[in-house]
């Protein structure tokens, strides 16, 4: 069992023929310098880290993602899940790079020229409530029933109304997710539809796309944002490292 | 950066750097998982918000939505549904003698005037507080 006070934090896998910006900083406190551990045609992006204190401060998460996202704009990268620490450089080579060299290299080649984009969209509350009230007479009736009355006196009606609204949003979400998927599809290599993270979330999805297609993807989403102006707000994150798409690339075990 | 100059809505928002919430959402539980033999730890991670992406439909949610409806500006109602608005205690009583559509329109107008002054409270952001910044 590891008793060492230092470990090697692993960010991701990149092709061996790249350089790391000497100013790049890792995770931990103080953050270590980021360097490459090369083996054959691949390399692990790592930094030294003290293991006697837990990771997970906001700046650790930010540092992890920023380094990987900055990398993907230049070279393909396989992001490793946040928090992976190995016992040292030897372990990186002997236990990770050497035994998995060929499949990691194949995955890097497959990801060359591609990046992840995350589409997040959220309903504008007043607009979506208005839609549901207009579509569902029962909701409109309940609204009238609670109007001007105390919460306690109308608790049953309120719960029922809220339930109808939740179901109404869920139904809209199903339709709208399909729409966002259809809009992104022509520019996507792969897609991962994510679960909603918030009760007003519309569609959230991760898209793996060629960076050369980025402008077209943005334009297509701009058109949708225009169509949904005032109803759904759309955000686009990226280019990001392909966080959602790497677990597929390696067989289990 | 390809971020467009902000116009009056209708474009995709492209933040130039990710917020902490976005980062948590983007990287937690995602990325290549390396073999259990080679890693010391995925342990010792103080998870900030492991429940950040779980939406639980609860009575609290229902009550919050109901209250949001209660406070909803009547002008937000879809036009062309006079029976809806006409049914409301509000417009219904006041404009009983008028045609349904006309009553509806006036009811909407009244309400806008009534409400415009004292409403517009700051938008509620029902985002969970995170116990992050504490031990920087």
Residues of chain B positioned with their CB less than 8 A from the CB of A226: 10-11
> What chain A residue is nearest to B10 in terms of C-alpha separation?
A226
Residues of chain B positioned with their CB less than 8 A from the CB of A57: 46, 132, 135-136
pLDDT tens-digit series, residues A189-235: 999 999 888 899 999 999 999 999 999 999 999 999 999 999 999 99
Query: How many CB pairs below 8 A link A and B?
Result: 245
Q: What percent of chain B has pLDDT over 90?
A: 7
Q: Which of A91, A98, A93, A112 is CA-nearest to residue A15?
A: A112
The better pLDDT of the pair B7, A34 is held by A34
What's the length of chain A? Answer: 253
Q: Which distant-in-sequence residues (6+ apart) come within 8 Å of B77 by Cβ?
A: A130, A133, A134, B84, B85, B108
Cα(A88)–Cα(B59) distance, integer angstroms? 50
Q: Which of B97, B90, B79, B83 is CA-nearest to residue B113?
A: B90
Write down the pLDDT at residue B56.
Answer: 58
Residue B50 contacts A, CB cutoff 8 Å? no
Write down the pLDDT at residue B102.
Answer: 32
The better pLDDT of the pair B74, A128 is held by A128
Q: How many Å lie between the alpha carbon of B105 and the closest alpha carbon of chain A?
A: 15
In which order are the strands placed within the sheet that holds A190-194?
A190-194, A201-210, A114-123, A232-240
* Residue contact A151–B63, C-beta within 8 A: yes
Write down the pLDDT at residue B92.
Answer: 34
Q: What is the 3-state secondary structure (H, E, C) of chain B?
A: CCCCCCCCCCCCECCCCCCHHHHHHHHCCCCECCCCCCCCECCCECCCCCCCCCCCCCHHHHHHHHHHHHHCCHHHCCCCCHHHHHCCHHHHHHCCCCCHHHHHHHHHHHHHHHHHCCCCCCCCCCCCCCCCHHHC
Beta strands at A78-79 and A42-50: parallel, antiparallel or unpaired: unpaired
Residue B64 contacts A, CB cutoff 8 Å? yes
Residue from the list A7, A84, A253 with its beta carbon closest to the beta carbon of B42: A84
Beta strands at A85-86 and A34-39: parallel, antiparallel or unpaired: unpaired
Most confident of A87-96, A204-213, B51-60, B93-102: A204-213
* Residue contact B27–A222, C-beta within 8 A: no
Residue B67 contacts A, CB cutoff 8 Å? yes
* Residue contact A85–B10, C-beta within 8 A: no
Lowest mean per-residue pLDDT among A159-163, A194-198, A227-231, A244-248? A244-248
Mutate to test the interface with A, among B1, B5, B8, B31 (most CBs of A within 10 A): B31
Residue from the list B61, B70, B72 with its beta carbon closest to the beta carbon of A130: B72
Residue holding tokens 């035994």?
A99
Residues of chain B positioned with their CB less than 8 A from the CB of A160: 62
* Residue contact B20–A62, C-beta within 8 A: yes
Residues of chain B positioned with their CB less than 8 A from the CB of A159: 59, 62-63, 66
Mutate to test the interface with B, among A30, A80, A82 (most CBs of B within 10 A): A82
Q: Which residues pair with A78 in a beta bridge?
A: A13
Question: Given a cut of 60, is residue B122 above it in pLDDT?
Answer: no
Question: Given a cut of 70, is residue A68 above it in pLDDT?
Answer: yes
* Residue contact A84–B39, C-beta within 8 A: yes
* Residue contact B32–A247, C-beta within 8 A: yes
pLDDT-based confidence at A105, cuts 50/70/90? very high
């Amino acid at each position: 069992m590891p008793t060492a006070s230092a470990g090697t934090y692993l960010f991701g896998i990149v092709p061996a023929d790249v350089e790391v910006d000497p100013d790049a900083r890792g995770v931990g406190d103080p953050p270590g310098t980021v360097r490459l551990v090369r083996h054959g045609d691949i390399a692990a992006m790592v930094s030294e880290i003290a293991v006697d204190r837990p990771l997970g401060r906001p700046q650790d998460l930010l540092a992890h993602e920023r380094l990987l996202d900055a990398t993907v704009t230049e070279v393909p990268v396989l992001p490793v899940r946040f928090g992976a620490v190995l016992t040292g450089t030897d372990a990186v080579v002997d236990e990770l790079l050497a035994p998995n060299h060929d499949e990691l290299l194949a995955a890097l080649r497959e990801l060359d020229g591609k990046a992840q984009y995350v589409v997040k969209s959220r309903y504008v509350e007043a607009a979506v409530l208005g839609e549901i009230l207009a579509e569902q007479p029962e909701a409109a009736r309940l609204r009238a029933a609670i109007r001007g009355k105390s919460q306690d006196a109308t608790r049953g009606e309120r719960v029922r109304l809220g339930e109808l609204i939740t179901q109404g949003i869920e139904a809209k979400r199903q339709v709208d997710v399909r729409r966002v998927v259809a809009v992104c599809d022509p520019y996507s290599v792969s897609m991962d539809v994510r679960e909603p993270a918030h009760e007003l979330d519309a569609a959230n999805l991760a898209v793996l796309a060629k960076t050369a297609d980025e402008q077209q993807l943005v334009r297509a989403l701009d058109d949708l944002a225009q169509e949904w102006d005032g109803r759904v707000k759309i955000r686009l994150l990226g280019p990001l490292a392909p966080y959602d798409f790497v677990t597929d690339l390696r067989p289990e075990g | 950066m390809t971020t467009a100059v902000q116009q009056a809505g209708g474009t995709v928002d492209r933040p130039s750097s990710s917020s902490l919430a976005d980062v948590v959402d983007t990287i937690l539980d995602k990325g290549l998982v390396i073999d259990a033999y080679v890693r010391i730890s995925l342990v010792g991670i103080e998870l900030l918000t492991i429940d950040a992406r779980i939406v639980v439909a609860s009575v609290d949610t229902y009550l919050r939505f109901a209250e949001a409806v209660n406070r909803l500006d009547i002008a937000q109602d879809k036009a062309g549904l006079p029976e809806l608005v006409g049914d409301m205690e509000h417009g219904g009583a006041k404009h009983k003698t008028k045609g349904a559509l006309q009553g509806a329109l006036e009811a909407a107008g009244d309400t806008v005037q009534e409400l415009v002054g004292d409403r517009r409270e700051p938008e509620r952001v029902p985002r969970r507080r995170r116990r992050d910044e504490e031990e920087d």
